[in-house]
């Protein structure tokens, strides 16, 4: 054991602050490798992003997890609202007895993503006891890492992970890396429109992020960095 807690990004972190130990090195390796190989690694991951956009077959679970999204002027974005609406629909269909909303203070917001998400769910008829929050995380990896402790303490094993379709491949890879049992469900109303230019641009960005994640895993294991691996495994 290292005797120290894994790195956690501070509230309202910048992109570079979120990277943590080894983040910049793995980013440069991922970007450099993509350039040297003429984009082939990203193209390979793009297939996964598009394939996983349909999600997984759903079965009853212990909880529904809604991944956070940065607020704009303290208000929910269309993407975050669509995620919450889909989670509420799954809850009403009886697929899980509770919803977990993740996300801390990001950007210039005066309230956390989780707090804003919880307020939206309560305003749309969900009972207080059915909504739990995690309000410290700064990005998807921390959403999952910090909620893992709650899941273990409560004895919850199976989770339905809700996000926009193109985010599911990366979110699923991160969850599996952390040892979480998740079934992914895309929020159908999330922009951009499937098949649009914006959709494919977002897909390419997600493919790079997925490539970056796997590059970081290989890099951390190669240099045997316990501190870096603590964040992702």
Domain positions in the chain are: 20-51+196-229, 54-186
- Using an 8 Å Cβ cutoff, are 217 and 177 in contact? yes
Alpha helices in the chain (DSSP H): 15-19, 23-36, 40-52, 78-92, 113-123, 140-154, 168-177, 197-222, 226-229
Alpha helices in 155-196 (DSSP H): 168-177
In angstroms and rounded to an integer, the radius of gyration of the C-alpha atoms of the chain is 17
Give the Cβ contact number of residue 228 at 10 Å.
23
Which pairing describes strands 158-163 and 63-66: parallel, antiparallel, or unpaired? parallel
Given this model, what pLDDT does residue 4 score? 52
Given this model, what pLDDT does residue 99 score? 98
Given this model, what pLDDT does residue 3 score? 42
Distance CA 186, CA 83 (A): 8
Give CA angle at 195 (190, 200), nearest 5°: 85
- Mean pLDDT per 10-residue run, the chain (233 residues)? 66 87 93 96 97 97 97 95 98 98 94 97 98 95 93 95 97 96 97 95 98 95 89 85
Given this model, what pLDDT does residue 2 score? 41
3-state secondary structure of 144: helix
Alpha helices in 55-139 (DSSP H): 78-92, 113-123
Backbone angles phi, psi at 71, to 5 degrees: -80, 155
Closest CA to 104 of 94, 95, 96, 114: 114
Given this model, what pLDDT does residue 202 score? 97
- CATH number of the 54-186 domain: 3.40.50.620
Distance CA 181, CA 63 (A): 11
Distance CA 41, CA 28 (A): 14
Closest CA to 66 of 80, 49, 52: 80
Given this model, what pLDDT does residue 66 score? 98
Cα-to-chain-centroid distance, residue 231: 14
Given this model, what pLDDT does residue 8 score? 86
Give CA angle at 8 (32, 232), nearest 5°: 55
Backbone angles phi, psi at 172, to 5 degrees: -65, -40
């Amino acid at each position: 054991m290292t005797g120290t807690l894994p790195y956690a990004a501070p509230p309202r972190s910048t992109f570079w602050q979120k990277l943590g130990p080894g983040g910049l090195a793995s980013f440069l390796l991922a970007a450099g490798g993509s350039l040297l190989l003429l984009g082939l690694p990203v193209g390979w991951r793009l297939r996964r992003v598009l394939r996983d956009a349909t999600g997984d077959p759903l079965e009853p679970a212990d909880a529904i997890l809604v991944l956070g999204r940065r607020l704009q002027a303290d208000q929910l974005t269309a993407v975050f609202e669509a995620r919450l609406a889909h989670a509420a629909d799954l809850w009403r269909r009886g697929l899980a007895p509770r919803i977990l909303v993740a996300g801390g203070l990001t950007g210039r917001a005066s309230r956390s993503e989780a707090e804003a998400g919880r307020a939206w769910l309560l305003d749309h008829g969900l009972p207080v006891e059915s909504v739990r929050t995690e309000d410290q995380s700064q990005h998807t990896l921390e959403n999952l890492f910090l909620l893992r402790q709650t899941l273990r303490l409560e004895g919850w094993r199976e989770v339905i992970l809700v996000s926009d379709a193109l985010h599911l491949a990366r979110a699923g890879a991160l969850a599996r890396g952390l040892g979480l049992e998740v079934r992914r469900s895309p929020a159908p109303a999330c922009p951009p429109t499937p098949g649009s230019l914006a959709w494919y641009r977002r897909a390419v960005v997600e493919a790079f992020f997925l490539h970056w994640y796997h590059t970081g895993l290989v890099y951390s294991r190669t240099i045997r960095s316990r501190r870096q691996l603590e964040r992702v495994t």
